[in-house]
Structure 1
Amino acid sequence: MTRSGREYLAALRDGREVWLDGERVKDVTRHRAFRNTAASVAHLYDLAQSDEHRDVLTVDGVHRAYTVPRSREDLVARRAAYKVWSEASFGFLGRTPDYMAGGAAAFAAVPQVFTTGSFDGADNALALHRRLADDDLYCAFTITNPHSGEGEDDLVIRVVAEKDDGIVVSGAKMIGTGAVFADEVVVGTIEPLAPEDADHAVSFSVPTDTPGLTFVSRTSYEAQARGVFDNPLSSRFDENDSLLVCENVFVPWERVLTYRNVDATAAMWWQTPAYLNFVHQASTRFWTKLEFLTGLALLMTRTNGTYKLPPVTQAVGRLLGMVAQAKAFVLAAEASCEPVDGGRGGVAPGTEISYAQRIMAGELYPRAVREIKQLAGGAVIQLPASAEDLLHPELGPLVTKYLRAPGTAAEERIKLLKLAWDALGSEFAARHEQYERFYHGAPHVYLTMQTWAGGAEACENLAQACLDGYGLGTGQ
């Protein structure tokens, strides 16, 4: 049974160790840097219990993202659930609970990947899936290693001791997006490891209040927000990114997924449909985000009275084309779905299209932002410092008089432009542009992987067929 937003918030008050600005955060549900975003996540849980969305978001009492899809129709149903949640944050909450839920479902689809000659994590992977699904938990992950050089292996999470009932790990992982809001965190490594890196080849899932586990938050855009009117996105949808540090953290054996095996530690992401499931959720969210940004462009050009100018109309058409392109990748990945483990593990979105979506999204998002900034012009710069200017008895009438637009009251226009600036030009917006560029990894990684994903041979064969069709003796 899915839990309520209230139950989710109550679970966050567990004493987890979160640090921000040199301060230990006692309660993320009440702290000014996290409380609104926590409430936004809680709203997602409430949507799953609402009469309007229950049948879309859940099946047999669990969120659809936790189910193992058996057909294209199942993928379409799962995407419909992704769409509801992504629209609730206008695409700005990326690593919502349904993200890693898809990963856990992928583990359950091919549990044998976790079985090696020295350690069998298959039952643990299945137990992780059941636990997350049955208790409707929010699971985050940290899979990026800190940069280390020769002789600095102690920076990366590694096994420092082995006990009868579990292991002890120390070290760090980077970019724990959403981790401070999660119930559990999966710790692993997605990049290939060398055979001699067995000490670092470990994956596990632990509660976020585990002793010795510390989260060091980056700057909070929510904490810097003046309020919802002035910062409508950053004040409510700052999912945060944190450095995860383990200092002699004990992990019971039943929570270990891979152990001292470099192949299995990478295979859990690539030889299960985990990564493809991630892209399915992310591409749905990306489509939603472009819809939102394009809607902003439409509202601004109508307010500015420039909508019917030919160059503006063309720019809007280009943005709408980008939305259609993002949508097409989602639909194409579903239409080209592939059997998992010969069909025994259900189906997954098509690999070739899913990998190509990573290229499209990273390159398209900055173009879309740049296009909308051009349409916004200088209007997003000359704005009142805060809503207090509008409310002031003396200043308010001046602002109201001089910042209105034909047919649009000053308050309505300022509200729209502040939303646009928060999406396009604020520090929060800059983080999102950089994040979308690297959402699925660095370009040198995903561009290389696209070559392996399939399609190259067919392209080469078609060109070769043309060459084979004529020669020096071919008639004019």
Structure 2
Amino acid sequence: MTRSGQEYLESLRDGRTIWLDGERVEDITLHPAFRNTARSFAGLYDLAHDSAHTPVLTRDGAHLAYTVPRSYEDLVARRRAYKVWAEASFGFLGRTPDYMASGAAGFAAAPGVFTTDTFDGAANALAFHRRLAGGDLFPTFTITNPQGAPSPYDAAGGTAQDDPVVRVVAEKDGGIVVRGAKMIGTAAVFGNEVVVGTIEPLAPRDVDRAVCFSIPLDTPGLSLISRVSYEGAARSVFDNPLSSRFDENDTLLVCDDVFVPWESVLTYRNVDASFGMWWRTPAYVNFVHQAATRFWTKLEFLSGLAILLTKSNGTHQLPPVTQAVGRLLGMVAQAKAFVLAAEASYEEVDEGRGGVMPGKDISLAQRIMAGELYPRAVQEIKLLAGGGVIQLPASGEDLLHPELGPLVRRYTGAAGRPAEDRVKLLKLAWDALGSEFASRHDQYERFYHGAPHVYLTQQAWEGDTASCERLAQSCLDGYALGGDPEGTGPR
């Protein structure tokens, strides 16, 4: 059964260890750096729990993201659920609960990947999926090693004890003990459980790092160290309409001799399984399906913002502006096309025993498109916005000031648009395009699914190079030196 937003908020008051600016945060539902975003997540739960959107968002009492799709129609239904939640944050909450939920469904679709000669995690993977779906939990993850943290064996005299990355340091009755850190825990402070693992390929000797598990956020020894909070720096919703409500935060996860019960372990001391759980199950492709739907939604919002700006500036009918808007709408159509094409090119999982997943080739290519398209879209809108977004009152309260208000209203209004409406629009634009929050999103979208050198190389490996090469070779094979000058025609 899905939870209400209030039930979700209550689940966050569990004594978890969150650090911000050198202080421990006692309750993120009340702290000014986190409370509004927590309420935004709570709003998503309310949409699923009891709203007009409930039939679209849920099936059999659980969010559709937890469903293992069995058909093309199931993929479409799941995407429609993704879209509802994405529109609630205008695409700015990237790690909503349906993201990792779809990954858990991917694990459940191919549990055999978790069975190895070192550890059989298949039953745990299935139980993990059931637990999350049954409790309507918010699963998060940290699966990236800290930058600049090579294997300790690469350094002269290095040992496993010098390793800063999460790794196994001991076995005990009933479980294992882990120590080390992971980045980037996006939205982890707002979750109920966190999956700790590695999506990066490991060397055969790095078996201590080859572990994946999921534990509650209040587990003893587990800490999350937050970056600066954009929500905490926001003046008001009027002045910072996005960063004040949709700052999902990013954290460094630290395990200080954390005990993990065996039933919470998914992979153990097996580099192939720890890597393959993401790539040889539908988990990663499911991630892309959710993320691609959100990205499409975000471009819709930004394009709509651009249209409002040009109308406010009185430039929307100028031919160059019309062309720029057309270019943005073309980007929206590209983003939408990737989602629909991935669904239409769906593939069977485990010869159909694990249902279906979106087409892998197109799903992986979406990462290339999104990482390159987002900064171009933002740059296009900045050019359309002009200088108005940087010449704004420090606060919307200036409009209400007895002496300052009349001046601000007189000089910030536009023909046919009251000053308050125009300032409101421009502040929204700045929060989306030029603020520190916006800069984080620019970097975030560029690296949402990894670094370009990773996903471009993977595309070369995963793409259908044989068909492309075969088509080009068929052209070469169709003629020869000294042959018919008119050619052989179509083959």
- Per the alignment, in what secondary structure is the counterpart of residue 3 of structure 1? coil
Q: Distance in 2 between matches of 1:474 and 1:447?
A: 41
Map Cα deviations across residues 95-123 of structure 1 (whole Å, 9 max, x no partner).
00000000000111111111111211111
- Per the alignment, in what secondary structure is the counterpart of residue 40 of structure 2? helix
Give yes or no for the alignment of 1:306 onto 2:315.
yes
Give yes or no for the alignment of 1:436 onto 2:445.
yes
- Per the alignment, in what secondary structure is the counterpart of residue 179 of structure 2? strand
Q: Which runs of 5+ in 2 are unaligned?
A: 487-491
Counterpart selection for 1:461 from 455, 458, 470: 470
| Superposed displacement of residue 51, structure 1 | 3.5
Q: Distance in 1 between matches of 2:484 and 2:379?
A: 50
Counterpart selection for 1:474 from 464, 472, 484: 484
1:446 is matched by which residue type in structure 2?
Y
Q: Distance in 1 between matches of 2:119 and 2:461?
A: 30
| Superposed displacement of residue 454, structure 1 | 2.6
Aligned position for 1:107: 107
Give yes or no for the alignment of 1:451 onto 2:460.
yes
Give yes or no for the alignment of 1:363 onto 2:372.
yes
Counterpart selection for 2:204 from 195, 199, 221: 195
- Per the alignment, in what secondary structure is the counterpart of residue 361 of structure 1? helix
Counterpart selection for 2:388 from 361, 379, 382: 379
Map Cα deviations across residues 1-46 of structure 1 (whole Å, 9 max, x no partner).
0000000000000000000000100000000000000000000000
Aligned position for 1:68: 68
1:177 is matched by which residue type in structure 2?
T
Task: Provide TM-score, normalisation by structure 2.
Answer: 0.96
Q: Distance in 1 between matches of 2:173 and 2:253?
A: 26
- Per the alignment, in what secondary structure is the counterpart of residue 32 of structure 1? coil
1:474 is matched by which residue type in structure 2?
D
| Superposed displacement of residue 164, structure 1 | 1.7
Q: Distance in 2 between matches of 1:468 and 1:171?
A: 57
Report sequence identity in percent.
Answer: 76
Counterpart selection for 1:291 from 300, 313, 322: 300
Map Cα deviations across residues 378-433 of structure 1 (whole Å, 9 max, x no partner).
01010000012111111011101110001100000000000000000000000000
Q: Distance in 2 between matches of 1:92 and 1:475?
A: 59
- Per the alignment, in what secondary structure is the counterpart of residue 200 of structure 1? coil
After superposition, where does 1:380-399 map in structure 2 within 5 Å?
380-399=389-408
Counterpart selection for 1:251 from 260, 274, 299: 260
1:165 is matched by which residue type in structure 2?
G
| Superposed displacement of residue 50, structure 1 | 2.7
Counterpart selection for 1:322 from 324, 331, 347: 331
Please identify runs of 4+ aligned residues in structure 1 that moved more than 6 A. Answer: none
Q: Distance in 2 between matches of 1:51 and 1:383?
A: 38
Aligned position for 1:215: 224
2:39 is matched by which residue type in structure 1?
A
- Per the alignment, in what secondary structure is the counterpart of residue 248 of structure 1? strand
Q: Distance in 2 between matches of 1:426 and 1:124?
A: 43
- Per the alignment, in what secondary structure is the counterpart of residue 199 of structure 1? coil
Q: Distance in 1 between matches of 2:149 and 2:203?
A: 14
After superposition, where does 1:9-408 map in structure 2 within 5 Å?
9-146=9-146, 147-149=148-150, 150=155, 151=158, 153-408=162-417
2:485 is matched by which residue type in structure 1?
G
Deviates more, 1:184-193 or 1:50-59: 50-59
Deviates more, 1:146-155 or 1:388-397: 146-155
Q: Distance in 2 between matches of 1:51 and 1:292?
A: 23
Q: Distance in 1 between matches of 2:18 and 2:216?
A: 13
Residue 396 of structure 2 contacts residue 423 of structure 2 at CA under 8 Å; is this kept in 1? no
Q: Distance in 2 between matches of 1:191 and 1:242?
A: 19
Q: Distance in 2 between matches of 1:310 and 1:411?
A: 28
Q: Distance in 2 between matches of 1:21 and 1:49?
A: 35
Q: Which runs of 5+ in 1 are unaligned?
A: none
Q: Distance in 2 between matches of 1:469 and 1:263?
A: 44
Map Cα deviations across residues 247-289 of structure 1 (whole Å, 9 max, x no partner).
0100000000000000100011000000000000000000000
